[in-house]
Amino acid sequence: MNTSAARRVLPGFPLALGYTLVYLSLIVLVPLSAVFLKSATQGWESFWAAISTPRVVASYQLTYGVSLLAAAINAVFGLIFAWVLVRYTFPGKRIVDALVDLPFALPTAVAGIALTAIYAGNGWLGQWLQPLGIKVAFTPLGILVALIFIGLPFVVRTVQPVLEDLSTELEEAAASLGADRWQTFYRVVLPPVLPALLTGFALAFARAVGEYGSVIFIAGNVPMVSEITPLLIITKLEQFDYPGATAIAAVMLVTSFILLFLINGLQAWANRSHGGG
């Protein structure tokens, strides 16, 4: 260790690593382990009971299902959005560019209330959708709308710089070699962008899973139908059922960790096979 440290060119490795670990522990690991410790104060049976009631299971499905769907939709449209911002000039481009960040800055409750007001049966958009039989507010569809809203900037902002680095000459080269637009997109443009797109997808997904403020207003929170897991945790806390709340939280933590880990693995693979070399 000493000899290798002596040979290192970049200084401060032990200090930097030590700092990183302490910081990670204080800010992330200690609170998270408190969740596990608290949930462990109950017996296995009551833990299992807390996390496996049909109402809770339904909420897992809803939360993860809608979050994945929202992240996937954001991946597609966020890529198009970023593409438009990078490749074209149009009046008001700077304003559009600035608007992308708005979901980052807006208090999520405000977003939730605004979306509910618009999509409710008597809202601006809701009154047109209602006659078509499409109900958005107070249904899982409403949750999807809210999660798409808050997740969009993650995809746009991670993909944008990579697209900016991608020379238009590559597309011209592909076209001169006879590739049509679709071939140019999936053979030339998409591979270098894919790792960033996956990162954006993962961030949007992670944010959606944990989202509370904007969802509870538009969701209607009908048990078994439109009740998200974070809301269940809050409900249990309000009933002073701390072990029950932490048990569900622990399940969410583990599930999210596994999913993010998988996405990371996918991203590493994409990096190796497409962006590498």
Partner 1 sequence: MSIRVQNITKRFGAFVALDDVTLDFPTGELVGLLGPSGCGKTTLLRIIAGLESADGGQVLLDGEDASDAHVRERQVGFVFQHYALFRHMTVFDNVAFGLRVRPRQQRPGEPAIRARVHELLDLVQLSALANRYPTQLSGGQRQRIALARALAVEPRVLLLDEPFGALDAKVRKELRRWLRQLHDALHITSLFVTHDQEEALEVSDQVVVMNRGRVEQVGTPYEVYEQPASPFVYGFLGAVNLFHGRVQDHHLHVGEGSLPLGHNGFQPGAEALGFVRPHELDIETNPAGNAGIAARVERVLAFGPTARVELTGAERESGRFYEVELSRERVAALNLANGQRVRLKPARIRLFAPEPRPAGRTPLPAGSLIGVDGEGI
Stretch that binds partner 1, among 152-160, 167-175, 197-205, 250-258 (CB under 8 A): 167-175
Nearest to 160 by CA among 84, 236, 220: 84
Please report how close the Cβ of residue 163 comes to partner 1 at its closest, in angstroms.
14
Query: Of all residues in the chain, what percent are helix, strand and coil, respectively (each to 5)?
Result: 80, 0, 20
Tell which phi-psi region holds residue 10, choosing left (phi > 0), alpha (psi between -120 and 50) or beta: beta
Residues 200 and 182: their CA atoms lie apart, in Å, by 22
- Give me the 65-104 binding string for partner 1, x by CB under 8 A, dash otherwise: ----------------------------------------
Q: Does 266 bind partner 1 (CB under 8 A)?
A: no
Residues 242 and 157: their CA atoms lie apart, in Å, by 38
Kindly state the DSSP code that residue 189 receives in the 8-state scheme: I
Q: Does 178 bind partner 1 (CB under 8 A)?
A: yes
Q: Does 172 bind partner 1 (CB under 8 A)?
A: yes
Residues 231 and 268: their CA atoms lie apart, in Å, by 34
Q: Does 275 bind partner 1 (CB under 8 A)?
A: yes
Stretch that binds partner 1, among 50-58, 112-120, 133-141, 170-178 (CB under 8 A): 170-178
Q: Does 198 bind partner 1 (CB under 8 A)?
A: no
Q: Does 164 bind partner 1 (CB under 8 A)?
A: no
Residue ranges that bind partner 1, judged by CB under 8 A: 167, 169-170, 172-180, 183, 187-188, 191-192, 273-277
